[in-house]
Structure formats: C-alpha cells, structure tokens
C-alpha cells in the first residue's frame, strides 16, 4: 500500500473482529511507531500492551463514567445522535494499547526548552506512524479519549513524569469505512482544503 493510500483509507475503528494480531505484525507496527521523529531524538513514547480482560473491564468502566458527563454537553437532536455512537471497542478488540510519554529525563531535552510539549507532540507522531502502519497491515486502531487521565494513570500505577497520551483499541476491523463515521452520519463535514490554507497572513474570519 502506498503512503497516500494508507493516509486516505485509514479510519478510526470501533467495531472489531476477535482474531488476534500475529506477533510479527504487531512488532512491525510498533517498530514503525518507534521510527517517528522526536524532539532531541528523545524517543519519549512507551507502549503498554493490555490484553488482560479484568484490566479492560476496569478501563471500560472508566469510559462509561467519563462518557456520562461527555454526553451531557449535548442536547436535543445532537444528544440523540451522540447516543447512537459507539465510541470505543475496549472489550471486543483483541488488544488495547496505552501510549505513554516518559517525560523523566537525565538532562534537558535538546530542542524542548521553549516548547516542553514537543515531547508529547513527538509521541503523537509515533501514534500516527502506528496508525498508518496498522492500516497498511489491515489492522484497525480506535482512539479512546473519553477517559479521565488521572483515573487511568492510577489504574496503571504510573510514576510521576509518565503521562498517558492515548488509549488505543487494536484489532482487525469489521470494515474500514470509506469516510469518517462522523462525516457519514452528518455530525461534521470535512472542511474544504482551501478554507484551512492561508497565504502570508492568518484570516481570523475564516
């Protein structure tokens, strides 16, 4: 699969088949993530693989709690539509993957003095590599952000300085949709490219 095809056909996946991912496939995907760029070559990403069913049930409960308040911000038709969404695949996917950013350092990270968040940005780039490599392997990824990070951190007993960046569900999808689900059901359209590109000056009215 070429890079543009992987970018275009990558989807956030919430419905998974139970088939496990072979070790060599998983290793290639993680290795692609590990080859992302990082500020000062800090390689701050850490990958916590979670297969244990009890742990996943605990995460699923945290999702339910967080989703109770997340849905409350919508009313009327938007709320009704929100309630039709499946926003996670924590229990059905064969693997959960918690992507961490290790911010503990022996010495200051080259390039991160002015913008310390660049270590977190680097971790996000690893996630994007992982997401695209997974797509090329026919593996789906679903990002679950409806989780209280502090609750998740204490569940995994993370030390100070190690932050959760993403909680991902990983597995073979029922299907890769042609278009994002949220676009397909009319939640939000994709913005035209010309609306988001500026020449020389940012236009605050756009």
Ligand X SMILES: Cc1cc2nc3c(=O)[nH]c(=O)nc-3n(C[C@H](O)[C@H](O)[C@H](O)COP(=O)(O)O)c2cc1C
Residue 62 touches ligand X, criterion: CB under 6 A: no
128 binds ligand X, rule: CB under 6 A:
no
What is the nearest approach in angstroms of ligand X to the Cβ of residue 129?
A: 14
Residue 113's Cβ-side half-sphere holds a number of Cα atoms within 13 Å equal to 4
CA distance 3 to 127: 16
- Cα–Cα nearest to 167, from 73, 19, 66, 77: 66
The residue whose Cβ lies closest to ligand X is 180
Question: Which DSSP helix (H) or strand (E) runs through 162?
Answer: strand 162-171
Report the relative pairing of strands 95-102 and 162-171 from DSSP bridges: antiparallel
Q: Does 121 sit near ligand X (CB under 6 A)?
A: no
Q: To the nearest whole angstrom, how small is the minimum distance from the Cβ of residue 12 to ligand X?
A: 3
- CB under 6 A: which stretch of 8-16, 17-25, 49-57, 113-121 binds ligand X? 8-16
Q: Is 40 left (phi over 0), alpha (psi -120 to 50) or beta?
A: left
> Site mask, ligand X, residues 64-93, x = CB under 6 A?
-----------------------xx-----
- Binding region for ligand X (CB under 6 A): 11-12, 14, 87-88, 143-146, 180, 182
């Amino acid at each position: 699969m070429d890079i543009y095809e992987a970018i275009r056909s990558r989807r956030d996946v919430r419905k998974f088949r139970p088939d496990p991912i072979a070790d060599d496939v998983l290793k290639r995907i993680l290795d692609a993530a590990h080859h992302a760029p990082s500020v000062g070559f800090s390689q701050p990403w850490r990958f916590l693989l979670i297969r244990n069913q009890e742990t996943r049930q605990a995460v699923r409960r945290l999702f339910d709690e967080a989703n109770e308040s997340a849905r409350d911000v919508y009313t009327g038709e938007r709320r009704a539509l929100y309630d039709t969404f499946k926003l996670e695949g924590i229990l059905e996917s064969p693997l959960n993957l918690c992507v961490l950013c290790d911010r503990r350092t022996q010495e200051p990270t080259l390039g991160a003095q002015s913008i310390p968040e660049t270590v977190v940005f680097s971790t996000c780039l690893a996630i994007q590599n992982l997401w695209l490599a997974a797509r090329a392997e026919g593996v789906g990824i679903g990002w679950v952000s409806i989780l209280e990070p502090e609750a998740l951190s204490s569940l995994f007993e993370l030390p100070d300085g190690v932050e959760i960046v993403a909680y991902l569900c990983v597995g073979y999808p029922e299907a890769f949709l042609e278009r994002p689900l949220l676009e397909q059901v009319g939640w939000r359209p994709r913005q035209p490219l010309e609306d988001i590109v500026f020449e020389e000056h940012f236009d605050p009215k756009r």
